[in-house]
Chain A
Amino acid sequence: MDELRMTDQKIWPPRFRKWSRRERDNFKIGMLFLLPWTIGFLVFTLYPMLASLVYSFAVYHARQPLEWVGLKNYIDLFQDDLFWTALYNTLYMVVIGVPLTLLASFFCAILLNLKVRGQAFYRVVYFLPSIVPTVASTILWLWILNPQAGILNTVLGYIGIHGPNWMSNPAWSKPGLIMLGLWGMGNTIIIYLSGLQDVSVSLLEAAELDGANWWQRLWHVTVPMVSPITLFNLITGVIAMFQYFAQAYVFRGFQNLGYPLNSTLFYSVLLYQNAFQWLKMGYASAMAWVLFIIILVCTLLLLKISDKFTYYAG
C-alpha cells in the first residue's frame, strides 16, 4: 500500500522542469494558431453568453442603462401562456420528431449498407436533400404539402385518401415539419452508415452460425454495436430540435409566425419574437438561459440513462 502511494507521488504532482527554447517557441506557435479561434470564442460566444445572462435579470433599453428587475423576467416567463405553448410545441418535435428521425435513418442506413448494384448511387440520392439549404428545401416542401396543388395530397388522392390541410390545420402542421426533417436526414444516415461498417463481421457470423435469423442478428448484434452512434445522434438531434427555428420561420409562408393557431410557435421562434419584434431583449435572454438549462438537463439525463443501453466495445 505504502509502496503504491510512493509510486503515485512520483507521478503526481508532476515535476515541472524548465522548458527548452524550442519548446517555448513551439508553445508560442501553437498559441498563435489558437488565437483566431480563441478570440472568436471570447468575443462572439462567451461575451454574448455572459451579456445575455446579465440582461436576463434586467429590462434591456437600447440606449439607456439596464433597468434591474431581479428574477422578474423568469417569473413572468413561467406565467406566460405563449412560453408554455412554445415549450409544448418544441417538446412535441423532440419527443416525436427525434426518435422518428433516428429510426428512419437507421433503417435507411441498413438498406444503404446492403451490397447491391448501384449502392453508391442510392447513397448519393439519400444524402442529396441534406445539402439543399434549409430555406430552399422548406419552400419546396411548402409546395409539396400545399393541400390544393401539392404533390403529396395529389398522390394520396390517387389511393383514395383525402389529404389533410398540412399548413392550415394545427393538428397537421408539426407532422408536416417532421416529414420535412425526415427528408433531410442524410447526415444522420451517414453517421449510422459509418457505425454499421464498424460492426464486427465475426460477431455477425458467429450469431449466424448459432442460428440467429436476420432480425435476431440485427436486434442482438447490430443495434447494441451501434448504440454509441445512436446516443450521439440522439443527443445532437435533441439539441438541434430544441433550437428549431429556420424551418418554422419559413414554413408559415405569408402567414404570421406560429401559424396556424400558434401550432408552429417553437421556443426559438418565440425567443426571436420577443427579442427582435417586441424589443424585450431581457425577457428573451431569460428565455435563452431557461432553454440552455433545459438542454443541459436533457443531455445529462440522456447520458445517465444511456449507461444501461450503450455498449462500448473494447
Chain B
Amino acid sequence: MKKLFSLLSILMIASLLLSACGTQAPASSEPKVLRVWIQWGDNPQQIQTLFDKYTAETGIKVEVTAPLEVDKILPALTGSEPPDILVLSGGDLVKSYYKEGLVDELSPAIKSGSIDLTDFFDAPLQQCKMGDKILCLPWGSDMYALFWNKDLFEAAGLDPNTPPATMEQLAEFSDKLTKVNPDGTLEQIGFLPDQGWGHSELYTNMFGGFWYNEDGTKITANTQPVIDALKWEQQFYTKYGVDNVMAFSSGWADAYMSGDYPFYTGKLAMYVDGEWMTGPNFISKFKPEASYGVAAFPPPADHPERANTGVASGTVAVIPSGAADKEASAKLLAWMMSPAIVAEEFCFNANLPTSKKAAEDPCFTSNPKFKVFMDLMANPNAKVVVTTPISLEFNDAWTLLEEQVLHTGADPQPLLEKLQADFEPKLAESLK
C-alpha cells in the first residue's frame, strides 16, 4: 500500500513536470500536420475545405483554426508550438509582433517558396513592408467606397445615377437628403461619416495626408489634412445637431447583419462601406430589392487629381518565428498566395484578391458594383493604412478622439495636439 502511494505520487509529479518542460520529440523532416490559424473567419468549414486541397496535392494535412480572439494569439506565438501560418485580420499587429521577435521576416520564405511579389497589388503589399523588410503577405484586401440609395435620391429630386462629384457636393446632397421633424429630431439623414465604424483614413487621404508619414516613422496627427478631414466629418453631426444625430443613429452599428440596417430601411441615404457589401452575403441577402449605387469616394473640389483614391487594408499572413518547420510553412504560404487559391477564397467571401492574376477571374469583374472596388485597388492613387509597432494602441486613442470630435462636437485641433504629444515619444521608443 505504502509503496503504491509513493509510486503514484512520484508518477503524477514526474508526468506533470515533463509536460511542463515542453520536451518535444525531435521534429521529423516533413511534418505530417500543418496548423493554420485565421483571426477572421466567418465560415471555418469553407476555409478547411480550401486547405484540404493542399492535402490532396501534397499529402500534408492542414488543420485550420478560425476565428480567433486576439488574446489567443499572443500566448500561441510565445508558446512552444505556435501555428505554422497565422493569418491576421489586418496589418496593425504585424510590426509589433515582429519587434517582439514573434514573427519572421519573410524574405527567406518568399525565396524558398518562389513567391512572385510582382503579382501583388501594390497598396495591400505596402502594409507588410517595414523599410526594405517584408513582414507579411496580404491575402485578401478591402477597399471602401460611397454607397447611395437611389430611391432616396429620386425622392429628394436628385439624379439617382449621379453620385456627388466632390466632397463639398456630398455635403450639399446630404442637406437635401436629410429630413428634420418640426421638433428637431431626424427622420432621414443624408450622410453619416462614421456609419458602422470610422473612415477617417479615407477622408484624411482625400485631404492629402495621414496621421503617419508614408514610411510610418513619424506621427503627423496635428497636420492640416487631419484637422480638415475631422472638421469635414464633424459638420454632418453639428449642423443637424449632435444629440439629434446620436439619438437617430444609436444602435445602427449592431444592425449591420440584418434587414434593419438603416441603409436598407431608407433612414440613411449615403455612407461609406467595403466591397463585401456588393457580394452575396449582405445587401442581396438582407435587402435584395434595394436600389443602390456604388462609386469611388469623391475628392475635394480643389484637388480633382485625388479622384479614385482608396485606402487598402485587409488580411495578411505571417510565419511565426517559433514555427517548427519553416520550409513547410513557406511552401504552404506560397500555395496560399497562388492566384487560383486566392481567387477561390476571395470569390467565395466577396473580398478583393491581392493577386493581380487572380483579379482577372470573371468572378471579380462580372459584377460592376464589385468592380468599382477592384478598380480602386488597381488605381495608382490607391493608398494603404500606414502601420507602426504601436498601431493598435494609437488606433484606440484615435477612435476615442474621433468619437470626441464627432459625437460631442469637440474642436479637433487641441485634441490632435495632445495625441501628437502623447504618441510621438511612444513611436520613437518603439522604433528604436
Tell me if chain B binds chain A: yes
- Contact, CB under 8 Å: A147 / B251: yes
Band of interface residues on B: 35 or more
How far is it, in angstroms, between the C-alpha of A61 and the C-alpha of B98 when the chains are bound? 11
Residue of A nearest to B418 (CB): A81
A39 touches B101 (CB 8 A): no
B88 CB to nearest chain A CB (Å): 12
Cα A165 to Cα B243 in complex, Å, equals: 10
A272 — which chain B residues lie within 8 A by C-beta?
A: 71
Instruction: Tell whether, in the assembled complex, residue B246 and residue A165 are in contact, meaning their CB atoms are under 8 Å apart.
Output: yes
Say yes or no: is B18 at the interface (Cβ < 8 Å to chain A).
no
* Among A25, A168, A262, contact of B250 (Cβ-Cβ < 8 Å): A168
A70 CB within 8 Å of chain B: no
Partner-binding segment picked from A122-130, A219-227, A248-256: A248-256
A64 near B: Cβ within 8 Å? Answer: yes
Given A32-B8, A254-B254, decide whether A165 and B247 contact each other with a Cβ distance below 8 A: yes
- Confirm or deny: A154 has a beta carbon within 8 angstroms of a beta carbon on chain B: no
Assembly CA distance A279 to B102 (angstroms):
11
CB nearest to A25 among chain B residues: B1
Interface string of B239-282 (1 = CB under 8 A from A): 00000001101111111100010000000000000000000000
What's the tally of chain A residues with a CB closer than 8 Å to chain B? 42
Q: Is the interface of A mostly helix, strand, loop or mixed?
A: loop
Contacts of B260 in A (CB 8 A): 149
Interface residues of B: mostly helix, strand, loop or mixed?
Answer: helix
Q: Which residues in window 1-46 of B have CB below 8 A to A?
A: 1-2, 5-6, 8-9, 12-13, 16, 20
Interface: B117 (CB within 8 A): no
Contact indicator per residue, chain A 26-62, by CB within 8 Å of chain B (1) or not (0): 0011011001000100010000000000000000011
A157 CB within 8 Å of chain B:
no
Asked whether any CB of chain B lies closer than 8 Å to the CB of A260, the reply is yes
> Which residue from B16, B393, B400 sits with its C-beta under 8 Å from A262?
B400
- Which of B56-64, B169-177, B375-383, B401-409 is the interface stretch? B401-409
Partner of A43, one of B16, B392, B403: B16
Contacts of A184 in B (CB 8 A): none
Q: Would you give the shortest CB distance from B393 to chain A, in whole angstroms?
A: 4
A258 to chain B, nearest CB (A): 7
Most buried by B among A256, A262, A272: A256
Residue of B nearest to A277 (CB): B392
Q: Report chain A residues within 8 Å CB of B407.
A: 168, 260-261
Interface centre among A31, A262, A280 (most CB of B within 10 A): A262
User: B380 to chain A: closest CB distance in Å?
Assistant: 32
- Smallest CB–CB gap between A264 and chain B, Å? 12
A257 to B395, CA, bound (A): 11
B394-422 CB contacts (< 8 Å) to partner A? 396, 399-400, 403-404, 407-408
Which 3 residue pairs are nearest across A and B when measured between Cβ atoms? A165-B250, A63-B101, A276-B71
> Residues of A with Cβ closer than 8 Å to B?
24-25, 28-29, 31-32, 35, 39, 43, 61-64, 142, 146-150, 165-169, 253-262, 272-273, 275-280
